[in-house]
Amino acid sequence: MSRSRLISIIKAFVFIAALGPLGYLFAKALQNDLGANPVEFVTHATGDTALIFLLCSLAITPLRKLANLPDLIRFRRMLGLYAFFYASLHLLTFVGLDHHFHWAEVLPDVYKRPFVTAGFTAWLLMVPLALTSTTWSIRKMGGKNWQTLHRLVYFSAIAGVVHYWWLVKKDITDPLIYAVILAVLLGYRLAVKFSGGRRAAAPSLATGS
C-alpha cells in the first residue's frame, strides 16, 4: 500500500473516531443517562471535546518535527475543524438548550461575565479560521497572509483555557491540566523562534507549520 493511501485510510478512521464524543452524547441521551443535570453534562462534554481537539491541532507541528512525521500535517485541518465543530455545539448548547435562545439573558452574559466573554472570544477567533480552511483560501490569500491569520488559533486556545479556568468554583485541577499542555505547545513555538531556528520556525507552504 502506498504511503498516501495509508494516510487516507487513517484519515478516514480519525474522521469517524472524532465523531465519537457526539455519538456518545446521543447514545446517553437516548438512554436518558445524562445524569441529574443533562444540560450541564452536554455543556461540559462539548466544551471539553472542543478544547481537546484544539490542543490536538496545536500538537501537530511540534509532533511532526520532534517525531519526524511530516505527514501529520494532513490531519491538522480536520482536527482544527472538529475543534470548531464541538465549540459551536458547546455555544449552541449554552444559547439553545440552557437559555432557550433568550437573547436578553445570553447577550448581557457575553459582556458582563468574563468567563463567557473569554469563551465567546475563543469561538469567534475560530470562525475566520474555519472559513479559510480550504486549499482554495490558502491559494487565494497567499501562504504568508494565510499563515498570519491562522496564528489566531494561539489566542483562541488561550481564551478557551482561560474560559474554563474562570468558570470553576475552586477546584482548578482540570483547567490546570489544559493550561499546562497549552503552555508546552506554545512554549515549543517560542523556543523554536528564539533559539535561532529560523528555518524550523518559518513554515513553508508545502508543509505548513
Partner 1 sequence: MLTKKPSEIDLPYSEVTPKAAYFDRRKFMTGLGLAGAAALVGREAFQMAQPDEVAHANTKLSFGKSAYSDKQTPTSLKDITTYNNFYEFGTDKDEPAEYAGTLKTRPWTVAIEGEVKKPQTIDIDSLVKLAPLEERIYRHRCVEGWSMVIPWIGFPLSNLINRAQPTSKAKFVQFVTLFDRQQMPHAGNVLDWPYSEGLRIDEAMHPLTILVFGLYGEVLPNQNGAPVRIHVPWKYGFKSAKSIVKIRFVEQQPPTTWSGMAPNEYGFYSNVNPEVDHPRWSQATERVIGGGLFAARKPTQMFNGYGKLVAGMYNGMDLRKNY
Residue ranges that bind partner 1, judged by CB under 8 A = 26, 29-40, 42, 97-100, 105, 108-109, 112-115, 166-167, 169-171, 173
The residue (of 35 and 128) whose beta carbon lies closer to partner 1 is 35
The residue (of 47 and 208) whose beta carbon lies closer to partner 1 is 47
Cell 437573547 found at: 103
Judge whether 190 and 91 are in contact, CB under 8 Å.
Answer: no
Torsion of CA 174, 127, 152, 139, to 10 degrees: 140
The residue (of 72 and 116) whose beta carbon lies closer to partner 1 is 116
Separation of alpha carbons 116 and 106, rounded Å: 9
110 Cβ neighbours under 8 A, 6+ residues apart: 116, 117, 120
Three-state secondary-structure class, residue 12: helix
Q: How far is the CB of 161 from partner 1 (least distance, A)?
A: 16
Rg (CA), the chain: 18
Q: How far is the CB of 157 from partner 1 (least distance, A)?
A: 21
Query: Can you list the alpha helix ranges (DSSP code H) found in 33-134?
Result: 38-66, 76-92, 103-112, 114-131
Three-state secondary-structure class, residue 205: coil
- Here the cell at position 166 is 474562570
The residue (of 31 and 68) whose beta carbon lies closer to partner 1 is 31
The residue (of 107 and 131) whose beta carbon lies closer to partner 1 is 107
Three-state secondary-structure class, residue 207: coil
Q: How far is the CB of 97 from partner 1 (least distance, A)?
A: 6
Q: How far is the CB of 116 from partner 1 (least distance, A)?
A: 8
Q: How far is the CB of 110 from partner 1 (least distance, A)?
A: 12
